[in-house]
Amino acid sequence: MEKIAFFDAKPYDKEWFDKINKDYEIRYFEGRLRPESAGLAEGCRAVCAFVNDVINAKTIDRLSELGVEVILMRCAGYNNIALNAAKGRLKILRVPAYSPYAVAEHAMGMILALNRKIPRAYIRTRDFNFSLVGLTGFDLHGKTAGIIGTGKIGRVFIDICKGFGMEVIAYDPHPAENAGIEYVNKDELFKRSDIISLHCPLTHDTRYIIDESAIALMKKSVLIVNTSRGQLIDSEALLSALNEKRIGGAALDVYEEESGLFFEDNSDKIVTDEIISLLVSRPNVIITSHQAFLTEEALRGIAEVTLQNFDDFLQGKPLANEVKPKE
């Protein structure tokens, strides 16, 4: 029976992989994959990793030495992998899509919570404070939603926005054909939008797509939502804009320095990251811990596709979900 070393394993991972798996021995490890922990994969033909594992050249060297042949990413993103180091040595397989509804619905949930001050209202009423002062929001109906990235998740989110009666504009360097979407350039999107939601991968071109110059073009009431990758937003620029009241608020499910922080209970620790400590303290900021994907349907899909990827590798079938370095 082939073995898989499964890193950064959480209870919800184990539940769904154990339900779906019939053919492999999965060795679960709570720690993240990194050069120091790669040795745990000894005797395994594959490792299963996630977005915050450290899959640099040293990790790949160690895995290769141990005879590991494939890295199964149980996520869509792969910007944490040194692809060139893996070239010709290990196959990289990912889950390009699982449930676009999970992420899109979470993004809209964050907008509603941020706009209508729902977390603040909940905390107040727990203390029997039923005052409405400071809880005023605005109607989404008739407002403009600017969507950056119109892949599967972005298009589902567009449908949700239209269901609220919002006008939708979008930016994507690769527009979806015949999708009925109004595409504009980035600057126009930044100027016109009441809500900006990010649904694009992290690439050289999208890193810090929201920076100081982008924020300078935005409405002072704009809400920025990010459920994609943390480095799409320059966190220092975002914090400055919040402090200076140049934007209305932010809802973040990801953070550019989340590695080693998100997915873990740090409630009894001193968090030394000053930027996220300040962001958490702002009344017009909502942060969730990279949980937009976390639905039953998405977890099932992730397990199914991840294991199917390994099946295809072992059976010599075409690898539809292989990630290759750019030539």
**What is the domain partition of the chain in residue ranges?**
3-98+296-314, 100-287
Spell out the per-residue pLDDT of the chain, length 327, in tens: 999 999 999 999 999 999 999 999 999 999 999 999 999 999 999 999 998 899 999 999 999 999 999 999 999 888 899 999 999 999 999 998 888 999 999 999 999 999 999 999 999 999 999 999 999 999 999 999 999 999 999 999 999 999 999 999 999 999 998 899 999 999 999 999 999 999 998 999 999 999 999 999 999 999 999 999 999 999 999 999 999 999 999 999 999 999 888 988 999 999 999 999 999 999 999 999 999 999 999 999 999 999 999 999 999 999 999 998 876
Catalytic hit among 32, 94, 192, 229: 229
Topology classification of domain 3-98+296-314: Rossmann fold (3.40.50)
290 is catalytic: yes
Cα gap 107→254, rounded to integer Å: 11
15 is catalytic: no
Sequence-ordered alpha helix ranges (H) in 118-211: 118-126, 152-163, 186-192
Alpha carbon of 48 to those of 13, 40, 71, 247, 314: distances in Å?
11, 12, 6, 40, 15
Strands across the sheet containing 70-73? 25-28, 3-6, 46-49, 70-73, 91-93
Q: Which amino acid is at 146?
A: G
106 is catalytic: no
State the average pLDDT for the chain: 95
Residue among 76, 81, 80 at smallest CA distance from 98: 76
Domains 3-98+296-314 and 100-287 share a fold: yes
Alpha carbon of 285 to those of 89, 110, 241: distances in Å?
43, 10, 12
pTM: 0.90
Task: Give the N- to C-terminal CA distance of the chain in Å, as an integer.
Answer: 35
3-class DSSP assignment, residue 306 = helix
- The single-letter DSSP state of residue 32 is P
Catalytic hit among 177, 290, 297, 327: 290
* The CATH number of the domain covering residues in 100-287: 3.40.50.720
User: Do the beta carbons of residue 302 and residue 74 sit within 8 Å?
Assistant: yes
